[in-house]
Chain A
């Protein structure tokens, strides 16, 4: 499996505070990867390092085979949609396309124009007068039309209303479908990622808690419901990820050694049921979180 992003012991310190420390991670090429984690996990720092906006304090990072931000060729390989999807308020939509054309070497103006037309962005409109959703679409257009090998999206929908969020994600899914393009999309909302991603990485406090194909992850995890679950005394082949004590029944997200087809899991006390991606991610996120967070 070739990797599009390769980080070893990566760390970034701001004065005294480490925003990211000792992060080791591989992101496979050709996938739509969801990067999920709580606020402060280091997602934005990691993605800014990958885009070359930041330089690592420790460790190494390689993106598309090069050092991030090392030159025009490297910048052309990586498309970046920053948090809050910034755009020049006084420039029109058409100006932004021209900007991309002038700044990027591999600009595909046909693709950019088609997207703007399809999305219904008025070319003469100033970006400052666009809605949040339209501005996000414009920022995505600027990143996509460079024809990058890797598209990085740093919580692009975080500030959008549900309708705009839905439209953006639907367009993103259609855009990346059938393209030779790797995507890393960060969010703290699993529901956003579930719709577009086929690979998931859970990042908590700079550490990868779990990474893998979404279908594989769902196949290997189950929700166990039973009274009084003891994580240390589970049936063979099951490993507790996190246990939640609530009322008479405890629930636990468990990892199965073998992909859990019907009847393939040894019978035990309680009931096993399929687990949703949201619960799975929450289980891995709460693994290292304090008790208060677990109970939430």
Chain B
């Protein structure tokens, strides 16, 4: 059964791993140069990264983000609907049991999807290390541009480390499962894409911030750390935690209660330097502070480990549902 699965899959595998090999070769060729640049320059490293490397940083990160969705869409969703369309399931299911047939498909292609995402993430995580490290250190005083997302931020978390393996496994099996349930390829692909977006957002918004109890810190509001003031007087500051992921913040008064800032704060940044300093000082004297909820940069790997474990558990659950449904499919 593994032979048949491999025979049907080998072209797709060759194309996918070929693309990954090309990207890995580009990263391997440019990586040492980037590391050299990083070692040779101090604070201004990020502004000295070439525009080609900036583009590569974005493209490579997007590739890692997209890999689990692509393997789910093009390997997972059509895996069984294709056999249903061609009628070949009647050939396969009268030669071997459905459970063995499905187990070989889920096992082989699931591992291949994890390997693809894993190799890609490994290459990109290695290549981007100098940039990611510099972003983490310099957060808050970054030059304008794209190199502003630390690896713990929601934008980058799924593009580094080991979570891409968990994503790849889960969205592949989910693709197969949706395909088995809706039995048509295109609707299954559309549903999987929607599920990919919903699960990613749900994980980032509701689950990841709670995996490990976040830390809190009270910051004095100043010209140096103020990021913006909203028209309804809610303000945002940069936490003095390099590379941290700030999941929430609000202003508290001297009694520690959550409040809006006084309306005159709106004018603090606009005045002359001396007046501005006085304005912030008045705010601090009145006891206003910014309370920031965050995950420190050091939690990157523990969070990666926990989220990967969650996805692997979800993968097993989806595989169970897929097997149950396949055994009853068209029965």
Q: Which residues of A contact B (CB under 8 A)?
A: 51-55, 69, 71-72, 75, 78-80, 82, 84, 86-91, 95, 98-100, 102-104, 139, 142-143, 146
Instruction: Kindly supply a per-residue 1/0 record for chain B positions 74-91, scoring 1 wherever the CB is within 8 Å of any chain A CB and 0 otherwise.
Output: 000000000000111011
**How far is the CB of A123 from the nearest CB of chain B, in Å?**
15
Does B286 lie at the interface of the complex (its beta carbon under 8 Å from any beta carbon of A)? Answer: no
**Which chain A residues border B3 with CB–CB below 8 Å?**
98-99, 102
**Which chain A residues border B200 with CB–CB below 8 Å?**
none
Interface size on B, residues (CB 8 A): 19
Per the bound structure, the CA–CA distance linking A104 and B92 in Å amounts to: 10
CB of B97 within 8 A of CB of A80, answer no
Per the bound structure, the CA–CA distance linking A279 and B90 in Å amounts to: 34
Choose from B1, B88, B330, B331 the contact partner of A86 (Cβ within 8 Å).
Answer: B88
Task: Say whether, besides A53-B330, A91-B7, A75 and B94 are in contact (CB < 8 Å).
Answer: yes
Per the bound structure, the CA–CA distance linking A152 and B95 in Å amounts to: 13
Task: Say whether, besides A54-B331, A88-B8, A89-B86, A146 and B91 are in contact (CB < 8 Å).
Answer: no
**How far is the CB of B82 from the nearest CB of chain A, in Å?**
10
Does B4 lie at the interface of the complex (its beta carbon under 8 Å from any beta carbon of A)? Answer: yes
CB of B97 within 8 A of CB of A51, answer no
**Which chain B residues border A84 with CB–CB below 8 Å?**
87
**Which chain A residues border B1 with CB–CB below 8 Å?**
102-103
Closest chain A residue, CB of each to CB of B97: A72
Per the bound structure, the CA–CA distance linking A82 and B1 in Å amounts to: 20
Does B257 lie at the interface of the complex (its beta carbon under 8 Å from any beta carbon of A)? Answer: no
Task: Say whether, besides A54-B331, A75-B96, A82 and B4 are in contact (CB < 8 Å).
Answer: no
Of A55, A71, A88, the most chain B CB neighbours within 10 A belong to: A88
Does B324 lie at the interface of the complex (its beta carbon under 8 Å from any beta carbon of A)? Answer: no
Closest chain B residue, CB of each to CB of A55: B331
Per the bound structure, the CA–CA distance linking A51 and B97 in Å amounts to: 12
**How far is the CB of A105 from the nearest CB of chain B, in Å?**
9
CB of B91 within 8 A of CB of A142, answer yes
Of A72, A89, A99, A142, the most chain B CB neighbours within 10 A belong to: A99
Task: Say whether, besides A71-B97, A99-B95, A102-B1, A82 and B8 are in contact (CB < 8 Å).
Answer: no
CB of A51 within 8 A of CB of B91, answer no
Per the bound structure, the CA–CA distance linking A54 and B93 in Å amounts to: 11
| 15 A-B pairs whose Cβ atoms sit less than 8 Å apart in the complex | A52-B93, A53-B330, A54-B331, A55-B331, A72-B96, A75-B97, A80-B90, A84-B87, A86-B86, A87-B91, A88-B91, A99-B3, A102-B1, A104-B96, A142-B95
Enumerate B1-55 residues with CB–CB distance to A below 8 Å: 1, 3-4, 7-8
Per the bound structure, the CA–CA distance linking A167 and B331 in Å amounts to: 33
CB of A82 within 8 A of CB of B95, answer no
**Which chain A residues border B97 with CB–CB below 8 Å?**
69, 71-72, 75
Choose from B87, B88, B93, B95 the contact partner of A100 (Cβ within 8 Å).
Answer: B95
